[in-house]
């Protein structure tokens, strides 16, 4: 994975969301999510940061598998060194899954 370069508001990036294997080294034990950069800012400690919006998992009702639950949008602040590039093939796959979320941004 390559760190994202020339990040601008509106860029589509990947970020580490949750650690599933804490004993692995590097980013090997992490799951990544795709996000849209809303704005760039500098933190109080002087780190370059971004405010990103991402779609939390789309869930399925455990009692009725045919009912898809609504997703939730979340916003978090994250340092730029934790943002990674996303390939164009992954973007095409994700547009199909999250078309409604992407249209609003």
When pLDDT is averaged across residues 91-100 and rounded to a whole number, the result is 64
Q: Could you tell me the pTM of the whole model?
A: 0.70
- The model's pLDDT over 67-90, given as tens digits with 9 standing for 90+, comes to 566 677 788 899 999 998 887 777
Q: Write out the two tokens for 65.
A: 């598998």
Residue 9: its pLDDT value, please? 93
Tell me, what DSSP letter sits at residue 82?
G
Give the whole-angstrom CA distance, residue 64 versus residue 84. 36
């Amino acid at each position: 994975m390559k760190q994202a370069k020339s990040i601008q508001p509106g860029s589509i990036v990947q970020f580490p969301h949750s650690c599933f294997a804490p004993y692995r080294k590097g980013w090997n034990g992490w799951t990544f999510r795709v996000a849209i950069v809303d704005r760039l800012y500098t933190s109080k400690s002087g780190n370059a940061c971004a405010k990103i919006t991402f779609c939390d998992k789309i869930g399925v009702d455990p009692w009725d598998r045919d009912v898809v639950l609504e997703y939730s949008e979340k916003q978090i602040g994250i340092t730029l060194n934790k943002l990674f590039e996303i390939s164009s093939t992954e973007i095409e796959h994700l547009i199909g899954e999250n078309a409604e979320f992407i249209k609003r941004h």
